[in-house]
Structure 1
Amino acid sequence: MVRAAGKHTSARLVLICVGLLGIALIADFLWASSSSSRFALIGANWAPPVSLLTPITIPNKGVDSQKNNTTTGRVLSATFADLPAPELKWEKMAAAPVPRLDGAAMQIKNLLYVFAGYGTIDYVHSHVDIYNFSDNTWGGRFDMPKEMAHSHLGMVTDGRYIYIVNGQYGPQCRGPTSHTFTLDTETKKWQNMPPLPVPRYAPATQLWRGRLHVMGGSKENRHTPAVDHWSLAVKDGKALEKEWRTEVPIPKGGPHRASIVYNDRLYVMGGQEGDFMAKPGSPIFKCSRRNEVVYGDVYMLDDEMKWKVLPPMPKPDSHIEFAWALVDNSVIIVGGTTEKHPITKKMVLVGEMFQFNFDTLNWSVIGKLPFRVKTTLVGFWKGWLYFTSGQRDKGPEDPAPKKVIGELWRTKLNLGS
């Protein structure tokens, strides 16, 4: 009787093991099918110059996968974050006077005006520095208005006047302001403009058809995405109206996206939903992490005044509001942040440059940066693409953000035909 019971027990164990193995095989098949479909969908929407869909195997027990990896250049262990991209020759130029995170920048001719930003999480800048592309020098520092936001700004220029829209006032995760200003770059004089209906963090901001457009951003709690879209008639640094006009809402809200006008069309690219918030009850408004969803969506507004969906970016990309430059018939986007690391759940920085061709509506990955970095401030002058400031990665094997920098780099762009 004892032996018979033992036989039955053994048989049951064998059946259980076989069943579990079958379930595992089915789950693995379904995961593989889902991943293949996702990659195929991405590939159908844009035209990369190289194959971008080669998965990187996640190593076990902390083994360095680069030791046995035959791919040249930087390879990120345990994530799909890095995309294969051509190596570029980067040249280090004169560093900015101060390091900046979440600053802002506008280029007018051969000058790059660099505004505000965090120096550290507990200290924010309240001045403007100017870089001269012609002689590789920084100078001409001057102060911002006391009421002006220090980070998460909306900003655009008409070639002389710079329009500045609200943002975060103070360090850590303090509240936003609805103040708006213009700066006359020839006289260095500031003027007030009508405040936004409500404050916003990092809204997409552009001049289009004689109106200053402000779109999306985060609401007053810094986390909830806003889809509001307002505009104000402006000319020569002055508002022609006393109140903002409500426009067609943006399809997806949130901060940290690029906004471009090209060929009389208004584009917004990338961004995220959600952001850090002030810790409840904290007297210093200490930043507290919340769930964020980064996306690569691209929308366009034209004569019909209806948002149209265009091919998405090569991968989700945020913190790019001043990380772009118009070059010929393309926009070049430099760095940013993408989806969280699949294992550590930490923020992952972007180490590539993307090109969007407005004529073909195709995306390309055109080169690697010297390191992964977010909130870059970008300019383009006489064939050279420049970026400065931001927060760089911890190193080639760790895409998480670490050091806030003031470095300035440039590379010669050769986009071909």
Structure 2
Amino acid sequence: MMVRASVKVGSAKFVVICVGLLGFALVADFLWASTSSTLPTSTKPSAFVVPSNHNKKKYENATASGRFLAAAYADLDAPQLKWQKMAPAPVPRLDGAAIQIRDLLFVFAGYGTIDFVHSHVDVYNFTDNTWGGRFDMPKEMAHSHLGMVTDGRYIYVVTGQYGPQCRGPTAHNFVLDTQTRKWRDLPPLPVPRYAPATQLWRGRLHVMGGSKENRHTPGLEHWSLAVKDGKALENEWRSEIPIPRGGPHRACVVVDDRLYVLGGQEGDFMAKPGSPIFKCSRRQEVVYTDVYMLDDDMKWKTLPPMPKANSHIEFAWALVNNSIVIVGGTTEKHPITKKMVLNGEVVQFNLNTLKWSVIGKLPYRVKTTLVGFWNGWLYFTSGQRDKGPDDPSPKKVIGEMWRTKLKLNE
């Protein structure tokens, strides 16, 4: 009798547990739907069943069950480009930085692995297609998530993350004389930032947005500092008009006396609380298509959005025939697997027409590329590539260098 009673009690408990789990699932689904409906319209791609053949099998189960993927998660249709593999960089890099001055590409810092960061500069010569001239960075300089820009001789280096994993940012700023390879200090930012949008505009070094000190919260602040010939003309940064939307990993470009900020994201990995090594811990991120511009009015203007959401592109661009060309990046996370999705396209923003075009495919999907353009050739190196043609999530940190002949209509 006792055995039979225990069986009935156990069955009742099982039913209660099942009902509870069903109720929890319904509540979670309702909350997810409510949260997604509050996202800005520019970050909500339209519903779309993924059509690409090489992804079809992977997504068949999801679409058959009635789950539609958003267009932003799929590869965009694009023509094939003929890529040539060049000499690889001396080391693989993720979240590094790069500045082109004439036929030289200066490649800075970055992660080698999540536990190891580089503290030197490598130089690529586009004329003879060789690497050489390695030199060290200052010991106090950030190793990733840098803001960086050049006036054609001096490279201004702003803030960033100091150390591996998800360590804190530094407010230290520097300037490099690329002719003498000597470094000089610049006044520190009012507060440090991760991966802020950085440019030289009208004689001032502008620093905008990025992530705040916790690495996740978007910053809206915009500061500027008067500089000339590698020297600061002021001791303190001046507050400017805040950027409409904060966050890191954006492209920032000045063309014809107009300042453009493209793409980026809100949110990022954070250090795990109490971790002695500041181990990275995943957080919610929203990647966006937003494009903003400043001109004589000193008011931010909204321009046509990118073809799909794109982040990790701060050094992934080049100017070609009055167009901004962007190579790779990341888009919104996969809605089912929740994994990061890399972009595998080259896109063009024509500044004459203010129209976007998808102009080619990369050898693979890849983020944080370091890009240059020389003598008709578009180059990219470094970053983190996908797991393969059927899996757009990131895997291997690379140092490969590729180039393709690129000709754009003005």
1:55, distance to aligned residue in structure 2 (A): 3.5
- CA deviation vs aligned residue, 1:45-67 (integer Å, no higher than 9, x gap): xxxxxxxx9742699xx94579x
Conservation of the 8 A alpha-carbon contact between 2:45 and 2:70: no
Question: What pairs with 1:261-410 in structure 2 (closer than 5 Å)?
Answer: 261-410=254-403
Seen in structure 2, the aligned counterparts of structure 1 residues 298 and 185 have a Cα distance that, compared at 3 Å, is same
Distance in 2 of aligned mates of 1:278 and 1:65: 33
Query: In structure 1, what is the equivalent of residue 138 of structure 2?
Result: 145
Determine helix, strand or coil for the equivalent of 2:395: strand
Aligned partner of 2:251 in structure 1 is: 258
Alpha-carbon distance between aligned partners in 2 of 1:341 and 1:219, rounded to the nearest angstrom: 26
Question: Whole-Å Cα distance in 2 between the matches of residues 99 and 158 of structure 1?
Answer: 27
**Secondary structure at the counterpart of residue 107 of structure 2:** strand
Distance 2:368 2:322 in 1: 23
- Whether the 8 Å contact between 1:393 and 1:400 is mirrored in structure 2 is yes
**Which amino acid in 2 is paired with 1:361?**
L
Would the aligned equivalents of 1:58 and 1:78 in 2 still touch at CA under 8 Å? Answer: no
* Equivalent position to 1:198, from 178, 186, 191: 191
How much does 1:328 deviate? 1.3
CA distance in 2, matches of 1:267, 1:253: 14
Q: Is 2:384 the partner of 1:415?
A: no
Q: Residues 64 and 77 of structure 1 are in contact (CA less than 8 Å); yes or no, is this contact kept in structure 2?
A: no
Q: 1:365 is paired with a residue of what secondary structure?
A: strand
Three-state SS of the structure 2 residue aligned to 1:96 is coil
Select the residue among 231, 238, 241 that pairs with 2:231.
Answer: 238
* Matched letter for residue 115 of structure 1: F
Contact 1:268 1:300 in 2 (8 A): yes
Please give the alpha-carbon distance, in whole angstroms, between the structure 2 residues aligned to 1:394 and 1:198.
Answer: 37
CA contact (8 A) 2:52 2:75 kept: no
Name the residue aligned to 1:3. Answer: none
Q: Give the TM-score normalised by the residue count of structure 1.
A: 0.83
Q: Say yes or no: does 1:165 pair with 2:167.
A: no
Partner of 1:99, secondary structure, is: coil
Structure 1 unaligned runs (5+)?
Answer: 1-33, 44-52, 67-75
Distance 1:149 1:80, change over 3 A: closer
* TM-score of the superposed pair, with normalisation by structure 2: 0.85
Letter in structure 2 aligned against 1:104: A
Work out whether residues 321 and 409 of structure 2, in 8 Å CA contact, stay in contact via their aligned partners in 1: no
What one-letter code is carried by the residue in structure 2 that aligns with 1:289?
R
Aligned counterparts of 2:59 and 2:215: Cα–Cα separation in 1: 38
User: Identity rate of aligned residues, in percent?
Assistant: 79
**TM-superposed deviation, 1:343:** 1.1
Partner Cα distance (1:63, 1:236) in 2: 56
2:94 matched to which residue of 1?
Answer: 101
Q: Is the 8 A contact 1:77 1:397 kept in 2?
A: no
- Relative to 1, partners in 2 of residues 1:343 and 1:211: Cα closer, same or farther, differing over 3 Å? same
Output the CA distance in 1 between the equivalents of 2:101 and 2:48. 41
Moved over 6 A (4+): 76-79
Provide the rounded CA distance (Å) in 2 between the counterparts of 1:42 and 1:78: 6
Query: What SS does structure 2 have at the residue aligned with 1:131?
Result: strand
Total equivalences in the alignment: 360
Report the AA paired with residue 308 of structure 2. Answer: K
**Aligned CA-pair RMSD:** 2.2
